[in-house]
Amino acid sequence: MMIVPLVFEKSQGRDCNKCTKCCDGWLSGTAHGYDFSPGNPCRFVIRGGCNIYPVRPENPCKTFQCHWKQNTRIPEWMKPDSSQVIILARYLDQKRYLRLFNTGRWPEARVFEWAEEYSKTGQNLVGYDISGARIFSQDEEFLELAKKEFI
């Protein structure tokens, strides 16, 4: 009998480790024919991981990358299971921005303090707190677009 070792793809950036926020019902997708969406977690997520990890589907499971995982300039404490925010890259009329998705509770003030500082590097960010949309940008054109779209 031949034993074939499991081979996992190389991680890009940081490891998820035990973070499962993308599977916990805050984003939408389908895994092996089962839908997950806000309020409806992936049926394969377990505490601290995925019970089908070796055979998880290519899309969305293997291809999805939260921006925290990809961008090591984002602080460690912004990991989704710590900050309660998933960061995804999005576009608004050809303008790239980072969308901060809440995962169960309103983000702490330091998330928005970080977003304000990070916007000074030229990045556009949009998030939501109890008062509504928060837009962080130094780009006047993006600010005008975002105000029409989000406020």
98 versus 3: the higher-pLDDT residue is 98
Residue 119 three-state SS: helix
Confidence label for 3 from pLDDT (cuts 50, 70 and 90): very low
Digit-coded pLDDT (tens) for 14-66: 998 899 999 999 999 999 999 999 989 999 999 889 999 999 999 999 999 89
Instruction: For the chain, give every domain's residue range.
Output: 14-64, 65-151
111 vs 56: CA distance, rounded Å: 31
Are the C-beta atoms of residues 80 and 19 closer than 8 Å to each other? yes
Are the C-beta atoms of residues 69 and 16 closer than 8 Å to each other? yes
Which whole-number Å values give the CA distances from 42 to 12, 45, 53, 75, 80, in the listed order? Answer: 23, 6, 12, 27, 17
Digit-coded pLDDT (tens) for 90-143: 999 999 999 999 998 899 999 999 999 999 999 999 999 999 999 999 999 999
Residue 148 three-state SS: helix
Asked if pLDDT for residue 5 goes beyond 60, the answer is no
Tokens read off for 128: 């939501």
Instruction: Record the pTM.
Output: 0.85
- Residue matched to tokens 């993006």: 142
